[in-house]
Structure 1
Amino acid sequence: MRIYVNEIKVTKDSLNCYTEQSTEGLQEAGQMLVDSDNYSFAYILDDGQSYSYLIFVQETWSMLHENKNKKIIINDHLELKQFGRELNYILDNIQGNSNYGKAFVSVVEDTFELE
């Protein structure tokens, strides 16, 4: 299932992300994927039987970047403790890597201020 983050609220300590679909019973799997065709990052969630993809579309990226040292909390109950590490890993992999497509790499590098 694809679960889209459609609202983000910034607090002093956290980035509170909200989805229309329920995330009850889901836990982070600690892995992020890239959808370079649709300009999004997909963070994998697990319910013990199947995976769901928590989708961060391009419009959310600047908030992720500007608040990169804050906790990520989904629907007020699910803290993504490995999110920052996974995002950094994927950004390192994307930087200068034309396998993702030049346009996608350029947008990611600009948004996340990669050099």
Structure 2
Amino acid sequence: MRIYVNEMKITDDSILCYTEESTEGLEEAGQMLADSDNYSFAYILDDGQSYSYLIFVQETWSMLHENKGKKIIVNDNLELKQFDTEFNYILDSIEENPNYGKEFVSAVEKTFELE
């Protein structure tokens, strides 16, 4: 299932992410994927039987970048403790990597100041 982050609120120490779909019973799987076709990042969540993808579309990127290092909390009950590590890893792999497509790489490098 694809679960889209459709609202984000910033506090002193957290990025609060909200979705229309419930995230009850889901835990982080500790892996981030890049969807270069749709200009988004997908953080994998697990319910013990199947995976869901928490989708961060391009419109959310600047908030993630500007608030880097803050806790990520989804729907007030799911803290993504491995998010920063996984996100940094995927950003490092995208930087100057033509396999993701020139336009996607350029957008990521610009937003996250990787140049």
Report TM bin, short chain.
over 0.9
Structure 2 match to 1:57:
57
What's the TM-score, normalizing by structure 2? 0.99
Work out the CA distance in 1 between the residues paired with 2:69 and 2:27: 21
Structure 2 match to 1:7:
7
Work out the percentage of aligned pairs sharing the same amino acid. Answer: 82
Work out the CA distance in 2 between the residues paired with 1:3 and 1:13: 24
Question: In the TM superposition, what is the alpha-carbon distance from 1:42 to its structure 2 partner?
Answer: 0.2
Task: Quote the RMSD (CA, aligned, Å).
Answer: 0.3
Structure 2 match to 1:21:
21
Work out the CA distance in 2 between the residues paired with 1:68 and 1:50: 29
Q: How many residues align?
A: 115
Structure 2 match to 1:37:
37
Work out the CA distance in 1 between the residues paired with 2:34 and 2:108: 11
Work out the CA distance in 1 between the residues paired with 2:68 and 2:45: 20
Question: In the TM superposition, what is the alpha-carbon distance from 1:37 to its structure 2 partner?
Answer: 0.2
Task: Specify every segment of 5 or more residues in structure 2 that has no aligned partner in the other structure, as ranges.
Answer: none
Structure 1 match to 2:86:
86
- What amino acid sits opposite 2:5 in the alignment? V
Q: Secondary structure at the match of 1:53?
A: strand
What's the TM-score, normalizing by structure 1? 0.99
Task: Specify every segment of 5 or more residues in structure 1 that has no aligned partner in the other structure, as ranges.
Answer: none
Alpha-carbon deviations, 1:12-32, whole Å to 9, x = none?
Answer: 010000000000000000000
